[in-house]
Structure 1
Amino acid sequence: MDYHLFRLINDLSGHYRLLDMVMLWSSEYVTILLAFALFGFFIVGLKKRIYMKTALFTGAALIISMGIGYVIKGLFYRPRPFVEHDVNLLIIHNTASSFPSNHTLAAFAIGLGIFFFHKKVGSLLLLGAALIGLSRVYLGHHYPLDVFAGFSIALLVVFLLKKGMNKLEKGDRRHVAKRVS
């Protein structure tokens, strides 16, 4: 199933110049735009606390997610599609483990982290993250399962961080309420 879906997406590569350009651009630059969005939240956060909270939360989610991704890559080597198969490869890539997709993992960690605090901006960033994931398969660098794993790791980390943060905040409110009484 994974390889079949890979073929459906990657077989489009190299046949439609505009689509090729969009996918190349997405893979190379949308991740940078997401990083700039995170940086923007940090800068605005110097004046507005909620933006700093968003930036710090998202930064933590990004670091933890990437750490988990690197550990998994070190434990489980999965050859990239272009190593094992004849694929449409638009740009050269290293042959490091394909699983999970670091581009996708980082993009979704940022998109999901911001989404939990700012739905409109987060929704746009999540669309960008999805485009990055699709582009990684389109370019022949990852299988769909690699992309799904990147998304899943980011989702799990953001969910657990949010849950932990909510518990801490609830505990802080109780502690303040007891002091006031």
Structure 2
Amino acid sequence: MENADQALFIWLNSLAGNFATFDSVVVWVASDHLVPVSLSLTLVALWFTGANKDVRERHQVALFVALTSMALSSLVVLIINGFYERLRPFDVMDVTLLFYRPTDPSFPANSAAAAFALGAAIWLVNRRVGTAMLAAAVVYGLSRVIAGVHFPLDVLTGWLIAAAVTLAVFRLKDLVMPVLRAVIRVARILCLA
């Protein structure tokens, strides 16, 4: 598996360093700003939108699921990092590095897990918006491989962790639904929802 992971990394990373415009786009997409901020702004928009009160409440509950899933996915990644510290591609091989050198472990990719958790949670209640968010998360993860900061398996594992955690949180949300509805009611009273 490791040989396939490295071979796929070498192929994807070979796309970097050939065209300045392509490299600029990869750096822009792989940055800690474009996709995370875009996903966050999408969550804010969903918080306030919906054809009716019920749809808006579904979006608002999904936002709680998304944020909880992102936090728990990051916690799972942190726990794994405590037991297994995989070096980054630029630490173990000659790569075309388009990005700064992160100092945390490469496996699993926390950035991929966080972005995918947000998209997966929204996809469970709004397929159109969720699909766009998941597409952004996939492009984000792949761009970080092309930029030389993650192996493909790091990103794939981040996505799988996020998918599993998000499904679990979504299925357990009914246990805290009275609390979520109370929070949403208070937010509406304060004109925050």
State TM-score, norm by structure 2: 0.81
Query: In structure 2, which of residues 39, 62, 68 is the aligned counterpart of residue 60 of structure 1?
Result: 68
Once the two structures are superposed, residues 117-142 of structure 1 have per-residue CA deviations (whole angstroms, 9 ceiling, x without a partner) of 10000111111000011011001000
Once the two structures are superposed, residues 6-60 of structure 1 have per-residue CA deviations (whole angstroms, 9 ceiling, x without a partner) of 0000011010222212211111111221122223333448x73122111111111
- 1:8 maps to amino acid: W
SS at match of 1:151: helix
Is 1:32 aligned to 2:56, yes or no?
A: no
Once the two structures are superposed, residues 51-78 of structure 1 have per-residue CA deviations (whole angstroms, 9 ceiling, x without a partner) of 2111111111111111111111122100
Is 1:161 aligned to 2:169, yes or no?
A: yes
Matches of 1:92 and 1:108 in 2, distance apart? 22
Is 1:76 aligned to 2:84, yes or no?
A: yes
The aligned runs of 1:101-120 (5 Å cut-off) are 101-120=109-128
Query: In structure 1, which of residues 17, 31, 35 is the aligned counterpart of residue 20 of structure 2?
Result: 17
State TM-score, norm by structure 1: 0.86
State the 4+ residue runs in structure 1 displaced beyond 4 angstroms. 166-169
Question: % of aligned pairs identical?
Answer: 33
Q: Deviation at 1:165?
A: 3.3
Contact 1:41 1:54 in 2 (8 A): no
RMSD: 1.8
- Please, which runs of 5 or more residues in structure 2 have no aligned partner? 178-193
- Please, which runs of 5 or more residues in structure 1 have no aligned partner? 170-181
Query: In structure 1, which of residues 82, 85, 95 is the aligned counterpart of residue 103 of structure 2?
Result: 95
- 2:47 maps to amino acid: F
Is 1:140 aligned to 2:148, yes or no?
A: yes
Matches of 1:38 and 1:168 in 2, distance apart? 20
SS at match of 2:148: coil
Stretch moving more, 49-58 or 74-83: 49-58
Figure out how many residues of one structure are paired with residues of the other and give that number.
Answer: 168
